[in-house]
Structure 1
């Protein structure tokens, strides 16, 4: 590694450290807005115009675009939020051990945010005008299903975007993502009737018992062979061990493999929750399947082939994979926009105390993004030029 490359890598790691050491859990607006402020400074230095989309409940979103190009061809999407509670950064600050960096959100996806900045920096430094032909969306709520940013992503993508590049991290083997399951989140709230479990248990109506019946029925909806997963992953309820519970809550994670399964699974969940098993309890169900699946279609396959070619030019073998995890790539893919996900650096153990970034992948994935942006913009501009010449002749 020559001195200049080493200097850039060091700069990138210093910025990643600053971001990782700033708490930005999905519900911690102050921290996310601080991350946004740090990032926007770099985009402003590159000459981009930044539109802040204010949020009251979540962190602000940002739409970033160069003022000299009114209709950029490429959309880059990256999220600023993490799954970690406020205070985690102080407990587990950024650190480097060998060739890996550790810390909350280091791979999902603070390293990716830095990769975007330095790829655009490199294009500008080389006087490659492709950097002006991208639109960047930084959103604050991806980890909780993008409730406030989905409409923004879809609205901006509809403005002439030809390709969507989503900066989730690459898989551990370096694979990028061309397919994802759709996913959603439901909350089932049971209201029962409290009573003393020793003196007059017959007067109680157990919300916990009702939730238990529902958990069994909901888990029976699993059909892993066809890509359907229903999991009650978190429950709460009860006030005391000697009290019939008056309230219980279950949080349901749902994954589907096809668009058709969305309505089918939603109907079955609603059906399960429509009737009480414990007489006298009441059920309130909220939520939906908010992310459609990302299906590897012809357009995505063609875009993936371009990524493979670019990788080959850099002596990188690029593979693709499908994953059960959700991301904002599902929104652009469902709109028919060729979409590639997992273009960030390589790492693993996301959402855990062992989350890590493979440091050598930082420069490699930055270079891949640089070449890919250049290639995609160049192709679109050439097609536009050829079309103009054909019409003029």
Structure 2
């Protein structure tokens, strides 16, 4: 964590934010003018990127999108590279750096991949009307990537980029993280250690009146239960007990009864098999079960995830779940394991709230209305979560407004492209000033 003296100075600087910049000066007018003059070019860039299939496992396609954006950033004076993802079985990331002379250090986060692999029927953009584009990844999140690039263009043309220190990371595996996770996300954590402020360009909940100051972390879990196989006529007897399926039902019901009312905490059993014999597939996404109605079930396997808004909430929930698992029905035993790593929570901090305050002021100064924070229940895990605990200030959801992410109905609102760029570029400019 950065020195307390720097944090204090930064907060003092930002507290005067709205007073110093309540009216747009020449620099901000230049930023806005540049964005308006270049919107058509960058809209076409977005269309070109959307038409390149970059499903996470299509390494060549992800790399191709990275090359497209790398060229744009290099033209703006960034040193850019496409890294290898061989160590975590993915395409790798686009990392671009600009070393300035003063002010806070910014980490800007996007991703190159989408959920639509080459076998998807959804491959190209089309216009639903004069402003709504339907296309794979238009909102999640090639639109956000283009917003980053156009914001850099505007800052450069306004003559302020040279003084700014910025690292841009567009990951190649946000939609399906590589393994091991610590290698997949190493660039993000290293960037966060360097930076003071992290800004993510996901599209949040698709509403341009919101940004994300808190994201829930996610962690996988596996429940394995063993009972005593026997003829069903002996179920509930002292010698046989209840069997694995009854015990599994007890555990899941107890999870629900004890934890479901905890604010911003969810835990979902998404996969279950049980019977006399069970076998889970190697990838953990399926399996087989065999049994008979007149035999007490011997085994069950349940896989799910848990999402929490803070590390403390996650720890407490895990303790409760582990206690429940030990309170077994007769002749049963159960084991609950949590996956290594996972996405950490991005807990709302004073610094994150300050970004919202500043962004809200920018939006109002530009005539775009007020902005509030997304409810963490509506903000899933994302790459910016890996900056938690490193940067002084973080916010996400600065990307292109859209709807129906991860479906063939995904859309982005092209009318919102220049608006979102103006908000982001002016925010960064103001934060960069002392």
TM bucket by the smaller chain? Answer: 0.7 to 0.9
- Give 3-state SS (helix, strand or coil) of 1:137's partner: strand
In structure 2, relative to structure 1, the CA distance for the partners of 1:4 and 1:166 (3 Å cut) is closer
Asked if the contact 1:24/1:31 (under 8 Å) is kept, the reply is: yes
Does 2:353 correspond to 1:323? no
The 5 Å alignment of 1:343-354 reads 343-354=398-409
User: For the residues of structure 1 that align with 2:330 and 2:287, how far apart are their CA atoms?
Assistant: 16
How far the C-alpha of 1:32 sits from its partner, in A, is 2.2
Which string of whole-angstrom CA distances, capped at 9 and with x for unpartnered residues, describes residues 339-390 of structure 1?
121111211222223221111100111111221121112x2xx3xxxxxxxx
In structure 2, relative to structure 1, the CA distance for the partners of 1:118 and 1:4 (3 Å cut) is closer
Does 2:287 correspond to 1:237? yes
Match of 2:311 in 1: 259
Asked if the contact 2:50/2:125 (under 8 Å) is kept, the reply is: yes
- Give 3-state SS (helix, strand or coil) of 2:421's partner: helix
The 5 Å alignment of 1:33-52 reads 33-52=63-82
Structure 1 gaps of 5+ residues are 199-204, 383-393
Tell me the matched-pair count.
372
How far the C-alpha of 1:63 sits from its partner, in A, is 2.4
Q: 2:197 aligns with which of 163, 171, 174?
A: 163
Asked if the contact 1:218/1:231 (under 8 Å) is kept, the reply is: no
Does 2:351 correspond to 1:299? yes
Asked if the contact 1:61/1:149 (under 8 Å) is kept, the reply is: no
User: For the residues of structure 1 that align with 2:361 and 2:344, how far apart are their CA atoms?
Assistant: 29
In structure 2, relative to structure 1, the CA distance for the partners of 1:68 and 1:299 (3 Å cut) is closer
Asked if the contact 1:254/1:289 (under 8 Å) is kept, the reply is: no
The 5 Å alignment of 1:1-393 reads 8-56=38-86, 57-66=89-98, 73-88=105-120, 90-98=121-129, 99-129=131-161, 132-144=164-176, 147=181, 148-159=183-194, 161-188=195-222, 190=224, 214-235=251-272, 236-238=286-288, 249-272=301-324, 285-288=337-340, 290-321=342-373, 322-324=375-377, 325-377=380-432, 379=433, 382=434
How far the C-alpha of 1:130 sits from its partner, in A, is 5.2
User: For the residues of structure 2 that align with 1:36 and 1:246, how far apart are their CA atoms?
Assistant: 50
In structure 2, relative to structure 1, the CA distance for the partners of 1:22 and 1:286 (3 Å cut) is farther
- Give 3-state SS (helix, strand or coil) of 2:175's partner: helix
How far the C-alpha of 1:283 sits from its partner, in A, is 5.1
Match of 2:12 in 1: none
TM-score for the superposition, normalised by structure 2: 0.72
Asked if the contact 1:175/1:319 (under 8 Å) is kept, the reply is: yes
Q: Which deviates more, 97-106 or 18-27?
A: 18-27
How far the C-alpha of 1:38 sits from its partner, in A, is 2.0
How far the C-alpha of 1:117 sits from its partner, in A, is 0.9
Which string of whole-angstrom CA distances, capped at 9 and with x for unpartnered residues, describes residues 224-273 of structure 1?
34222111124433256879999865431212133311211223344455
Structure 2 gaps of 5+ residues are 1-32, 233-241, 273-285
Asked if the contact 2:214/2:347 (under 8 Å) is kept, the reply is: yes
How far the C-alpha of 1:153 sits from its partner, in A, is 1.6
- Give 3-state SS (helix, strand or coil) of 1:58's partner: coil
Q: Which deviates more, 217-226 or 135-144?
A: 217-226
In structure 2, relative to structure 1, the CA distance for the partners of 1:121 and 1:179 (3 Å cut) is closer
Which string of whole-angstrom CA distances, capped at 9 and with x for unpartnered residues, describes residues 75-118 of structure 1?
11112233334422x43521111121112221111100011111
User: For the residues of structure 1 that align with 2:135 and 2:299, how far apart are their CA atoms?
Assistant: 37
Asked if the contact 1:62/1:137 (under 8 Å) is kept, the reply is: yes
In structure 2, relative to structure 1, the CA distance for the partners of 1:297 and 1:248 (3 Å cut) is same
- Give 3-state SS (helix, strand or coil) of 1:142's partner: coil
